[in-house]
Amino acid sequence: TTLDNKTLREEAATTLANLYPHDLEKDELAVEIESFKYSVIGSDNLAGNE
């Protein structure tokens, strides 16, 4: 079964937010999450989106 990459990205972003609630300001955290999402999207594209 192919997992839903969008769901995985959202779960990973939520996990990051939960791991670092006190280390980052909210705006900085939002940027980190977006950056992380795009890095995952980039690796999906490199993998060929099977």
2 class by beta-carbon count within 10 Å (0-12 exposed, 13-18 middle, 19+ buried): exposed
Task: Residue 36: count other Cβ atoms within 10 Å of its Cβ.
Answer: 15
Its pTM surpasses 0.75 = no
- 35, two tokens: 């950056």
Q: Give the pLDDT of residue 26.
A: 67
Q: Give the pLDDT of residue 24.
A: 53
Give the residue ranges of the chain where pLDDT is below 50.
50
- 38, two tokens: 């795009």
Q: Give the pLDDT of residue 12.
A: 82
Q: Give the pLDDT of residue 28.
A: 75
